Chains A and B, each alone.
Chain A
Amino acid sequence: MFSLRINGSVREVDPPVGRTLAETLREDLGLTGTKVACGEGHCGACTVQLDGSPVLSCITLVHTVGDREVTTIEGLRDHPLVEAFVRTDALQCGFCTPGQIVSAAALVEAEPNPDVERIRHAMAGNLCRCGAYPRIEEAVLTWRD
């Protein structure tokens, strides 16, 4: 049994060795906003932040998180990026969208005015099969509008 700091609160968990952060979030804590689409760290759908940095929760073992603050989409529900994604139509099926927003939130926290090159670099690890990319770019460019 140990504690995880998640979205500003402390949660007790007791995961078996080998459990991933994504499994803990989704199955043990009911935080299903974090999606798992490949389970192998290739697609970015499971992105969460550890102390503000984006990480792939499907290949992060929960026992390695330590006292770092975990931020999931549930902790970013009021982030202006959510409104920007909806306004610009930056989602279609929406399955990759929480991961996109978590990645984008880390980017704009570090760089409030990223240019297109920077956005493309920072977001290239978040796949979107529907191809909402141009609107994701627009959403991140205009997130404070």
Chain B
Amino acid sequence: MARLIRTEKEVEGNYTEQWVVVEGDDALEQWPEGPRTVVGRPAPRQDGHQRARGQALYTADLALPGMLHAAVLRSPFARARVKKLELSRALQAPGVVGAIGPGDCHVLTLEPSFHGAPVAAVAADTLQRARAALELIDVEWEELEPLLDAEEAVRQESFLEEPRSYARGDLEAGFAEAEVVVEAEYRTQTVLHNSLETHQSVCRWEGDTLEVYISTQYIWGVRDSVAGQLGLPPDRVRVVCNFMGGGFGSKNSPGDYTYVAIALAGKTGAPIRCALTRREENLATGNRNSTIQRLRVGARSDGTLVALEGEFVNAVGWAGFSGPTYGPVEMLYACDNVRTLTYGTKLNLPPNAAFRAPGFVEGTFGLECVLDELAARLELDPLELRRRNHADHDLADGRPFSSKNLLECYRRAEPHWGRRDDVRASSNGPVQRGTGLASQIWYGGGGPPSYAWVRLGSDGRAAVITAMQDIGTGTRTAMAQIAAEELGLPLDRVRVELGDSARGPYASISAGSSTTPSMGPAVRAAAADAARQIVEIAAQRYHLEERVLSLEGGNVVSADGGSWPLEEVTGLLEDAQILGKGARGPNPTGMRVLTFGIQVADVSVDVETGEVRVDRIAAIHDVGRVINPLGARSQVEGGIIQGVGHTLSEERLVDPGTGTVLTQTLDAYKLPTIADVPEMVVELLDIPDQHLTNIGSKGLGEPPIVPTAAAIVNAIRDATGADVRSLPVSREEMLRALEEAREREKKLAAAPA
């Protein structure tokens, strides 16, 4: 029976209340802790060969008959007014079939407010001809003065939303009680997602249905947005994404390119591909915005935190959202007196987008660095300082955690942390070495609604059917493992059909570390529903009671030793099939579901050149039950590597005078390469969350990038005594911090004892 439940839903820290319908038995007992037959054991990706051999068809590879290519005219200015826009010359260019301007499509504008804002677009038979035609659009720009500086935006009160204030306890009383107060300002840079498949879609009308083939993290979100924008019934928009080449948070919505493709498809009657170039990708598809963080922390001499204050300025851009940079300050430690103030500034810069743990990556850098500065002042072991301030419930609202094993993570970090004397001792000449650590807190509980079907044929093979997407995280494989476990089937007899809103039930977004905790329980429930039907059929066929039958190793087995191959039972159906249905149930009422962890970094700093190398990172995370240890390790390593890039090399540079983006190419924007990778040790606790769903799994995509920057910068302090306050740790910043540390030493030496 379908049950209607009112429940809380969380995506990346945003909580909403909503109704969900739950069918099937989502309240199955969790499997016992530890590896099962399939779940919890390493499984190579089911689509690994397809991807590795270049046989997987990404949106980038799709060529529909008669398809035209779109190119978009984007503003070369951070702020301008289009005084004249004439498309006729472009329309007459060879191969050009259609052109659109601001009146034709809502994403096009005559008042571009950031470099890269879309103004017009053309469709031609080849991409080259479409690009060439852009040059023939007659456009007159009136360049206007842009607002680029976030501090200036605060002064002018240029905000995207009201400044956010938060307070608990009595901050002033806390500081009055403090024996040590540390105050510091931290800055983080703007970084770009740079998924290797650029943002793109192919749109065509098929009868009265609009088909959108798109590289997306959220098939159903695209469907709803497009249907809403066009005023279509949602089922007349079909969204397809079988394979996609990375997103990292930037592909959660349709984007300007999809609406451009739709408008040109309407205008020309042909399928339209709108694929962004790498340069457009680095202008107009979102970013992790820069931040300024002013932190003040007060503690007693034993390290107990008695006051935490943070003022955060998020340089959001022209649109987007003001991320939870304040999150770690409010949530990570048991401090009773906390106050934060956060500004989301509106600037003539490209809009931000969610980027792998948005806000928390930035906020953890500030908080975990200031905590180490505090530990240095108190002459207290940084790990011990964190232990002493462990939060055993949510300080914001008193809720218990559904599960929290951070202290166990700390315990397992000890051997890595314990190496630091040896690491320091290995310093050699100008190369100083040291070790640092940082804690991690983030969401990752997922939630309803999410649905899955499991179909079994007479051949005893199963298909999991759900309209989710696998953005490269390996969820296809994890879902197959969950279904195989529940059906007692070898993994190679389960496949997952996903990626098409017309061919499966609603599935959650692949963002917010929510895919496995949202989809996994629905898949297990659907497999259990199918398993129950098989047992019912077998019981009737073999004249046994259902309670003595179970599914194991591809067989139906009975308690008295009988065993029948599954296909013998399902073979009775001939061409008929068994269909199991499952839904994700609600999250535990009144509990806070979060992920936790710690990373320990070893670094080498050349104090003469300012070069920093990360030598080793140990990552210990508590994300509940691990479904696929092989894929999980890869995700943790990948998160750390993105964190290393964020810390050391990546930075979007903007001309401070004009607001134009200078780093549009992958030679200018420095992603980590294979030569930049440190030694990595990954440990996942693999303790199921007893309160969370029928699988006890949390998400894993985001936690590993959260503490990396702080751990590295704290290791730099350990190695050199220098306080890095700004990311990336360029050589200039490193040399500045070293010089400041030397000046401080000099003053200290000169001061009377």
Which of B53, B637, B642, B674 lies in contact with A123, CB distance below 8 A? B674
Determine whether the beta carbon of A94 is less than 8 Å from that of B472: yes
Q: Given the known A-B contacts A86-B48, A86-B49, A127-B666, are A92 and B673 also in contact in the complex, defined by CB atoms under 8 Å? A: no
Nearest neighbor of A84 in chain B, beta-carbon distance = B52
A124→B634 contact, CB < 8 A = no
In the complex, are the beta carbons of B196 and A37 less than 8 A apart? yes
Complex CA–CA separation, A33 to B674 (angstroms): 22
Residues of B within 8 A of A96 (CB): 196
C-beta contact mask, B131-175 vs A, less than 8 Å → 1, else 0? Answer: 000000000000000000000000000000000000000000000
Instruction: For the complex formed, measure the closest distance between the CB of B656 and the CB atoms of chain A, giving whole angstroms.
Output: 25
Which residues of the other chain, A, contact B47 by a CB distance below 8 angstroms? Answer: 94
Could you say which of B56, B63, B638 contacts A92, with CB atoms under 8 Å apart? Answer: B638
Chain A 2-32 near chain B by CB (<8 Å), digits 1 or 0: 0000000000000000100000001100101
**Contact among A72, A74, A94, A130 with B52 in the assembled complex (CB-CB below 8 Å):** A94
User: In the complex the two chains form, is B673's CB within 8 Å of A127's CB?
Assistant: yes
Inter-chain CA distance A94–B573, complex, in Å, is 38
Q: Nearest chain A CB to B55's CB is how many angstroms away? A: 7
Contact between B246 and A119, CB atoms less than 8 A apart: no
In the bound complex, do residue B197 and residue A92 qualify as a contact, i.e. CB atoms below 8 Å apart?
A: no
The residues of B that contact A39 with a CB separation of less than 8 Å are 277-278
- Contact status B54-A91, CB under 8 Å: no
- Is B218 at the interface (CB under 8 A from chain A)? no
Q: Give the number of residues in A that approach B within 8 Å (Cβ atoms).
A: 52
Contact B48 A133 (CB under 8 A): no
Q: Is the CB of A40 within 8 A of B197?
A: no
The verdict on B244 contacting chain A, using a C-beta distance below 8 Å, is: yes
Is B516 in contact with chain A by the CB < 8 A criterion?
no
Is B474 positioned at the interface, with any CB of A under 8 Å from its CB?
yes
Q: Decide if B576 is an interface residue (CB 8 Å cutoff).
A: no
A131 touches B640 (CB 8 A): yes
User: In the complex, what residues of B have CB within 8 A of residue A130's CB?
Assistant: 246, 472, 634, 638
> In the complex, what residues of B have CB within 8 A of residue A101's CB?
52
The residues in B between 592 and 632 inclusive whose CB is less than 8 angstroms from any CB of A are 630-631
Let me know if B473 is at the binding interface, CB within 8 A: yes
Instruction: Please tell me if B749 contacts chain A, counting CB pairs below 8 Å.
Output: no
* Interface hub of B196, B198, B680 (most chain A Cβ within 10 A): B196
Q: Which of chain B's residues 21-77 have a Cβ closer than 8 Å to chain A?
A: 44-45, 47-49, 51-58, 60-61, 63
A124 pairs with B472, CB closer than 8 A: no
Are B673 and A124 interface neighbours, CB within 8 A?
Answer: yes
Report if A92-B634 is in contact (Cβ < 8 Å); known contacts: A129-B194, A130-B472. Answer: yes
B48 touches A91 (CB 8 A): yes
| Distance in Å: Cβ of A83 to nearest Cβ of chain B | 8
Q: Which residues of A contact B56 (CB under 8 A)?
A: 94
Contacts A36-B60, A39-B277, A93-B245 known; A132 to B51 CB distance under 8 Å?
no
User: How many Å from the CB of A60 to the closest CB on chain B?
Assistant: 16
12 contacts between A and B (CB under 8 A): A30-B63, A34-B54, A35-B54, A42-B665, A43-B196, A87-B44, A94-B47, A94-B243, A123-B674, A130-B472, A130-B638, A131-B638
In the complex, given contacts A77-B55, A121-B675, what are 14 additional A-B residue pairs having Cβ atoms less than 8 angstroms apart?
A: A26-B61, A35-B54, A86-B44, A89-B45, A92-B246, A94-B51, A126-B674, A127-B666, A131-B637, A132-B638, A133-B641, A135-B637, A136-B674, A137-B677
The 8 A-B residue pairs with the shortest CB-CB distance, nearest first, are A33-B54, A93-B472, A94-B51, A95-B245, A131-B638, A131-B641, A86-B48, A42-B666
